[in-house]
């Protein structure tokens, strides 16, 4: 496995995936993507695990696409679905907990929302900032934000591209635990330990039932998002915004 992604067996039943690409602040680099795919493949091959925890490092969870990948989409050299990382947690047969101790930005926030459980940090920033750059959302954002956060807040986040602290989202009534950054992993572990008390077969069977609708519906939204990208991504204004605003 690449150094940016580690898979640790916390207990024989609990797997912990940690994303730590300090140089690129956990953007979706080639190395981070390969590490995630490898980690989930290893989890799939293990017949003892019952639950997966996803987390980042220090003040970063996942920061979304790289500037280079956004420019490649602008230049029609790439589409965001070239490699399906956005639904790794949804497609995993085991319950997945996103311990989002740090910032979740753009596709990184979306990536975390596809988990079965989400724990946010009061101090961290969460944003679906696609429209900040002038292009419509991808990564399944138009599906998962209204689904998980509610239509009103989900549409607000998608249309405005604004950033929100975890404590602001808590005040808006999101249905997730929001705790101090130092407490996020402890809360995630409490959830994981409670899940691990259940039979593996029952967890897999119930998750498959609970997310079957989401799995069936997502592809249609991805197709529509790609069509919107064809209409919105290749504007000169978008190119300028990617060049000047990225990382701000």
Residues belonging to the active site: 229
Distance CA 35, CA 76 (A): 25
Q: Which residue has the tokens 């969460």?
A: 126
Residues 6+ apart with CB under 8 A from 159: 131
129 within 8 A of 107, measured Cβ to Cβ: no
SS3 56: coil
| Residue 245 DSSP one-character state | H
Among residues 56, 55, 5, the alpha carbon closest in space to that of 35 is found at 5
Distance CA 32, CA 30 (A): 6
Q: Which residue has the tokens 């596709």?
A: 107
87 within 8 A of 111, measured Cβ to Cβ: no
């Amino acid at each position: 496995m690449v150094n940016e992604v580690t898979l640790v067996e916390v207990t024989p039943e609990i797997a912990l995936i940690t994303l730590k690409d300090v140089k690129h602040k956990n953007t979706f680099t080639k190395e981070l993507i390969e590490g995630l795919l490898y980690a989930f493949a290893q989890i799939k091959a293990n017949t003892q695990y019952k639950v997966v925890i996803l987390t980042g490092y220090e003040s970063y969870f996942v920061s979304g696409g790289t500037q280079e990948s956004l420019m490649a989409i602008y230049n029609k050299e790439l589409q965001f679905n070239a490699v399906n990382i956005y639904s790794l947690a949804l497609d995993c047969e085991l319950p997945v907990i996103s311990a989002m101790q740090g910032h979740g930005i753009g596709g990184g926030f979306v990536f975390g929302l596809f988990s079965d459980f989400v724990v946010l940090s009061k101090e961290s920033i969460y944003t679906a900032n696609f429209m900040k750059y002038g292009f419509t959302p991808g990564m399944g954002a138009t599906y998962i934000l209204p689904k998980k956060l509610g239509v009103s807040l989900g549409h607000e986040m998608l249309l405005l591209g604004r950033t929100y602290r975890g404590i602001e989202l808590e005040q808006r009534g999101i249905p997730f635990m929001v705790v101090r950054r130092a407490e996020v992993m402890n809360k995630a572990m409490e959830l994981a330990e409670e899940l691990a008390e259940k039979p593996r077969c029952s967890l897999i069977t119930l998750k498959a039932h609970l997310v079957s609708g989401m799995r069936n519906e997502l592809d249609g939204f991805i197709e529509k998002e790609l069509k919107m990208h064809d209409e919105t991504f290749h504007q000169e204004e978008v190119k300028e915004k990617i060049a000047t605003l990225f990382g701000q």
